[in-house]
Each structure stands twice: as C-alpha cells, then as structure tokens.
Amino acid sequence: MLEAWEFILRRPELLAEWVLAHLWIIFVAIIIAVILGVFLGIFITGKGREQIADSVLYLAEIAMTIPSLALFGLLMLLLGSMGLKSIGFLPAVIALVVYGQLPILRNTYTAIRAVDPAMVEAGRGMGMTERQILFKIELPLAVPVIMAGIRTSIVLLIGIATIAAFIGASGLGVPIFRGIRNARMDLILIGGISVSILALIIDGLMALVERRITPKGLKVGRQ
C-alpha cells in the first residue's frame, strides 16, 4: 500500500496518463453507444416491430454474456483479417460499444413503451403527427430512464475498459497487467483503486445529471 503511494508521488504524470487514456476510450465508446442504443431503441418501439424488438434485445443480451477477454481476442483477429488496426484503441472502443449497448437500448425501449397510452392517444387525437408524439411526449418522458441506462453503461465500461490493456490499448489496465506480470503489488493496487474511484465519481456526477434532466412535472405530486 505504502509502495503504491510512493509510486504515485514519484510518477504522478504516469498515473494521469493512464487515467486520461482510460476516460478517453470510455468517452468515445459511450458516445457511439448512446447514439446507436437510443436510435435502435426508438426504432424497435415502432408499431409492428415487436418481433424485431425481441430479437434485437436478445442479441444485445447475448453480447453481454461473451467473456470480455474472449471478445477482445475475437475483435483482434477479426479486425486483423479485415486489414484494420487490430490492436490498441480501435478494437477497445468497438468492444466497449458492444458491452455498453444493452442498458441503453433496453432502457430506451422500456421507457418509451412505458409512456401512458392515454397520453399518446390524447396527443394523436389532438392532431400530433407520429414524430411530434415521439419528440413532444414519449422522449421527454423517457429521458430520465434513458439517462439511468447510460449511467449503468458508463460504470460498467469503466471496469471493462481495464481489459483493453490486454490488446494494447492504454488506460488503467496497463499498471494492473504490468503488476501481474512482474509481481508488483503496488501497480495492481494503483490500477484497481483508481478504477473504483473513477467509477464512484462518474456515477455520482451522472446521478446529478439524471436529476437535473428529469422533467419537473414528474418530480412534483400530491400522491
């Protein structure tokens, strides 16, 4: 423990580099995952798409059960065979997008489906177009739940991103793997504890965002 602390004091710039690299991978991955997940989530709530919805959600669930180590390995080979960069940043981001998909996708889908049908009917009956129903009623009401999905996703990715070091991406996985190989307890501790602290801080921040973004009308009530 003491050695870990000494290491940080000795090489703070190294820790900063790992943390930033870690955050950058997650940032890029989550942006892509949100765009993909929300779009797909909205798409599968459409009329007559119940079966597509089932299949898509099922696929996303299966993706989550693939061991992360195996997925990183698979992507390495796959990208390699396509002539793309098979190690480092690119496969890491792709793997994280796959993992981060389910909570966002499922929450978007569930939240839109959970909107009171009476509101949708009233909207339609007053002459809203399907697009207006989506943007004026369904999405505003679904936003808090979608945010909660994004939050879950981010926290999940912070942990999984450590494994990206295995395929040559930077981040907090680097000291952990280095520590394991060289039997350096301090490095493992630095990596592990930093990941936990990072997860806690970001989760807290996201909780604040979630509360801010919830429409006021949903927070008040006489019940």
Instruction: Examine residue 222 and tell whether it contacts other proteins (CB under 8 A).
Output: yes
Strands (E) across 88-155 are located at none
| Both structure tokens of 108 | 């978007």
In the complex, least distance from residue 218 CB atom to other proteins, rounded to whole angstroms: 6
What CA–CA distance (Å, rounded) separates 111 from 109? 6
In the complex, least distance from residue 137 CB atom to other proteins, rounded to whole angstroms: 6
Q: Where are the alpha helices (DSSP H) in 45-88?
A: 50-65, 68-81
What CA–CA distance (Å, rounded) separates 29 from 18? 17
DSSP state letter for 162:
G
In the complex, least distance from residue 43 CB atom to other proteins, rounded to whole angstroms: 22
Count the Cβ atoms, other than its own, within 10 Å of residue 78: 13
Q: Point out which span in 23-31, 77-85, 184-192, 209-217 binds other proteins (CB under 8 A).
A: 209-217
Residue 134 CB contacts under 8 Å (≥ 6 apart), including other chains? 42
Count the Cβ atoms, other than its own, within 10 Å of residue 54: 11
The single residue listed with the structure tokens 């989760």 is: 203
In the complex, least distance from residue 41 CB atom to other proteins, rounded to whole angstroms: 19
Instruction: Examine residue 212 and tell whether it contacts other proteins (CB under 8 A).
Output: no
Write the interaction track for other proteins spanning residues 99-138; mark x where CB under 8 A is met and - where it is not: -----------------x-xxxxxxxxxxxx--x---xx-
Write the interaction track for other proteins spanning residues 52-91; mark x where CB under 8 A is met and - where it is not: ----------------------------------------
Cβ-based nearer residue to other proteins, 3 or 130: 130
Number of residues that bind other proteins (CB under 8 A): 26
| Both structure tokens of 111 | 């939240």
Q: Which residues bind other proteins (CB under 8 A)?
A: 116, 118-129, 132, 136-137, 140-141, 215-218, 220-223
